[in-house]
Amino acid sequence: MTTATTLPGWPYRPYFWEEFTQAAASRRRLADVRQAMPVWAERGLRALRDGLGRDPGSEPAMRHLHRVEITDDERAAQQLPDSYRAEHAALTLFGLHQSAGADSVHRPGTGLGTAVRGLREGPLSHNAAERRLIAAATAHDLDELAQHVRGLIPLLRHAGIGLDYTRLYRDLRDWQSPGHARALRAWGLQYTDPSGSTTAPHEPPDAESVRPYWAGFDPEQADAGADLAALRSGAGRQAGTAPAMWPFYRTPISTRLRTQGVLTRGLVAEHDALVVFGIHQQGRNTPMHAPGISPGRACRQLCAQDAGADRVAVERRFGALLTSADTGELAQHLRALVPMLRRARIELDYDVLHHALRHWDEPQRPWEQPHARHAWDRDFHTDTVHHPT
């Protein structure tokens, strides 16, 4: 077992799964896989399996395997700290996953989303893999999450797929904190990574996989209603944190950023556009995406309808839309506007909305917001409604 130092005066002892991986790598370098694993590693694995299904801290043989230190007061408390409980879960899952004498299943950089994607390419169907990942992503607490991951471990072991257990530990630790948003986003982006195949050689994504969802939406498809409900589930949520929306993102993001769960401007814009489209399209049997119809033109059409909304109310909403200070406020006003357009069966150009949401408050493109405001205001006041005499 080893001790490394990351900063002067701050010794860092690797987690047990990292130490095990180092020992397995040493055996491989010696080119003698017949050599037995060190005694401490074999005993550690047995202790981890003995701790499976037991409460954290209740298996004496596991205590020396923990790297998270707790005080006597914390140990005597009704519930141990989340960091200790998360490490217990990660340790026992690693023990279940790891076969004695085999190469380590701790694979740095392989997040849960990537691992489940590998199952989709092997023993599980696309729908079965997605259901299992979404079940884990919607767990209410750390214990429920650990149970869902435990159900995946035998499948991963049988398929020869490893996991980054250091990352999994951090995901478990942060599950009931604001930090879990990044874990959720990372799982979804990893799972839907078009270049993230674990078994097949990389192939360029086809046009269908990169075309925005609204551009190819068919209201006659059997699953159209379920898809729209999935899009609406993202209202008020951070991009990437509504698991039902994961299959609908098309924003190009590098594998490195997907693995880290980075919240990009492009992903936020697509998320907001998808939510607005889900609200707009609900209950309509014709597509609500129509090229060339800006918010200004749509509001002008709304005022023109004989049985349309009150013009003052429309102008008020349109004015609020134009004066949005940032993309968050712009998305909020769009969500408030589209129910009126939906009732009047008026479409919108969602490519235009997506572009505006992407660049509205981008510091590097300060001209985008005034340009969109001017264009939309012009569309609203051009060809003003003429009432028949």
pLDDT tops 90 at residue 178? no
pLDDT tops 80 at residue 306? no
Show the domain range for 328: 213-381
Assigned domain for 364 exists: yes
- 25 or 4: whose pLDDT is higher? 25
Assigned domain for 196 exists: no
The mean pLDDT value for 352-356 works out to: 97
The mean pLDDT value for 221-249 works out to: 96
Assigned domain for 200 exists: no
pLDDT digits (tens, 9 = 90+) for 66-104: 999 998 888 888 889 999 999 999 999 999 999 866 789
Assigned domain for 274 exists: yes
| Contact between 287 and 293 (Cβ < 8 Å) | no
What is the structure's pLDDT at 210? Answer: 78
Per-chain mean pLDDT for the chain: 89
pLDDT tops 50 at residue 217? yes
Residue 21 is classified by DSSP as H
Q: Do 233 and 129 share a structural domain?
A: no
Q: Do 96 and 35 share a structural domain?
A: yes
Which residues lie closer than 8 Å to 1 by C-beta, 6 or more apart?
13, 19, 40
CA–CA dist 293, 310 (Å, integer): 20
> Is residue 304 packed enough to be buried (19+ CB in 10 Å), middle (13-18) or exposed (0-12)?
middle
Q: Do 238 and 170 share a structural domain?
A: no
CA–CA dist 108, 13 (Å, integer): 17
Assigned domain for 298 exists: yes
Q: Do 254 and 147 share a structural domain?
A: no
Q: Do 156 and 248 share a structural domain?
A: no
What is the structure's pLDDT at 109? Answer: 94
Q: Do 61 and 10 share a structural domain?
A: yes
For residue 197, give Cα distances in angstroms to 47, 110, 119, 122, 250.
34, 12, 10, 11, 17
pLDDT tops 60 at residue 8? no
Q: Do 255 and 165 share a structural domain?
A: no
Domain boundary among 158, 177, 196: 177
Question: Quick one: pLDDT band at residue 34, thresholds 50, 70, 90?
Answer: low
Domain boundary among 177, 204, 224: 177
Assigned domain for 189 exists: no
Q: Do 266 and 172 share a structural domain?
A: no
Assigned domain for 161 exists: yes
Number of domains in the chain: 2
The percent of residues in the chain predicted with pLDDT above 90, rounded, is: 75
Assigned domain for 202 exists: no
Q: What's the CATH code of the domain at 76? A: 1.10.520.40
Domain boundary among 150, 177, 204: 177
pLDDT digits (tens, 9 = 90+) for 109-162: 999 999 999 998 887 888 899 999 999 999 999 999 999 999 999 999 999 999
What the block records as the tokens of 31 is 């080119």
